[in-house]
Copies of this chain bind each other. A is one copy, B any other.
């Protein structure tokens, strides 16, 4: 038998996170924005309300392991659920408010949610699917309900309670139970573009370790002892996306002020919040940062408080990173991960001491692994590939916040001897920086060579007249597959195919140049804001898009 240590086990649990922030930073604040103002609440009050929530849920019969859904934007009530539900032993199931009704119904039913905490303003969206969700007994409504008829109709079938009334009678302390750290804390469904969503069940252990790994993003300034302020985090990434990338728990650990934007996620209110609350850091998808950048061009705003933006969920275009750095001195740090990975696996922090003119070369990568995650790339031959910046392989990851499967045992084909196969194709350079080349299903297989749809999109989006672009593979008689580029031109500008091809010819290999273009008003997006390439492929097959095809003799492969 091997020698055991003398150490305490010291279970890593959400109750531990809750107690830590309460004891270390009772006066730290959470600000929730209502469209014009911010209301402030202290960590101590949030902790007391989390305990009230746990007591009230116990009062309606919610037991350990029972699932409690949230159908909410980002606000302090959602944070109370993040803390109080898992700490009490129940499981929070964060529901994506942008899911299609059939998918929403599927995930509520699949997880077996017994109660759902729901924003009053989107109660009608939830109401339309609840007939297909027999497990749901109780709705707890946050904020005002605009459509009282919906509420009255729901009240005939379910217990419908007001969140503040629900909490008001409950005790503000709770004897948080001892919990086995590998037990469930949170469920988040992976929004695959094919098939039904699949449930990823985060444990207390994974939640805790993932949050700890994110601390430098949200608490770094507190350690600059001489004369700097603590971090203030504007949490734009929705709390229904993979635990908001760990930001709420990380800020709770570091005592950083959290700004919760509610449903006000457009560029204009975000700019207002930045001027009003002066955040130092913010996390969100590239689309948000792109929209904000365009807004700032027209509406000068003081964004000098920001020391860093974090971008993830899809690739961040180099041009976007370059503009934020050049115009505002703000580094945009990309992260890479997925719901299955909690999600943070990598962060594009440049090596210390990188000269300013080389920063973007690192910031535009997917970054290097954070401590806790192990990563490898595996080629078509199933061989682990070298980190030479050239060899391509599918990214595989393992570690304490990487899933080993899905709720109900689905999807085990995604695993390779204990490593999660991610479906992303990448290179890794000798310094450990990962560059995502494509999705395994999006890469364009042209004449035995691979063309990265993402690199092509980035090259196209670098053109000043292009607002956004998406590239898919379409069948080709000669080369088997060739790229088709969907292009959205910026309002008030014109763009000819010939000009775009001329522009691209200096940026990509000649044989990568698409022959097919389609100018569209917008690129369709998935519920989490990514390009919905499945819709583009289907639309192309059914002939809904007008395609401009150039003469092959112009030199394309």
Chain A residues close to B by CB (< 8 Å): 1-12, 16, 19-20, 23-27, 64-65, 89, 91, 180, 182-185, 199-206, 209, 212-213, 215-217, 219-231, 253, 255, 307-308, 329, 331, 333, 349-353, 356, 359, 368-369, 371-372, 374, 387, 398-407, 418, 420, 430-432
Contact = CB atoms under 8 A, between A and B. Distances in A.
Contacts of A183: 2-5
A313 to B, nearest CB: 20
Contacts of A371: 20, 24, 212, 215, 253
Given A23-B432, A333-B225, A353-B230, A372 B180 contact: no
Contacts of A372: 10, 16, 20, 212
A374 B19 contact: yes
21 contacts: A3-B65, A3-B184, A5-B183, A5-B185, A5-B204, A6-B403, A6-B405, A7-B404, A8-B400, A8-B420, A10-B206, A20-B369, A26-B430, A215-B215, A215-B371, A216-B216, A216-B223, A225-B331, A227-B356, A228-B352, A255-B352
A352 B432 contact: no
In the complex this chain forms, how many copies of it are found? 2
A454 to B, nearest CB: 24
A199 B372 CA distance: 29
Contact of A399 (B1, B10, B255): B10
Contacts of A406: 6
A539 B212 CA distance: 49
A227 B307 CA distance: 12
B398 A10 contact: yes
Given A2-B183, A374-B19, A398 B353 contact: no
A201 B26 contact: no
A217 B226 CA distance: 14
A5 B204 CA distance: 9
A182 B372 CA distance: 17
A4 B201 contact: yes
Nearest to A204: B5
Contacts of A398: 8, 10
Nearest to A415: B8
A10 B226 contact: no
A330 to B, nearest CB: 9
Closest 3 interchain pairs by CB?
A10-B400, A230-B352, A5-B203
B216 A219 contact: yes
Nearest to A178: B418
B229 A353 contact: yes
B201 A3 contact: yes
Contacts of A184: 2-5
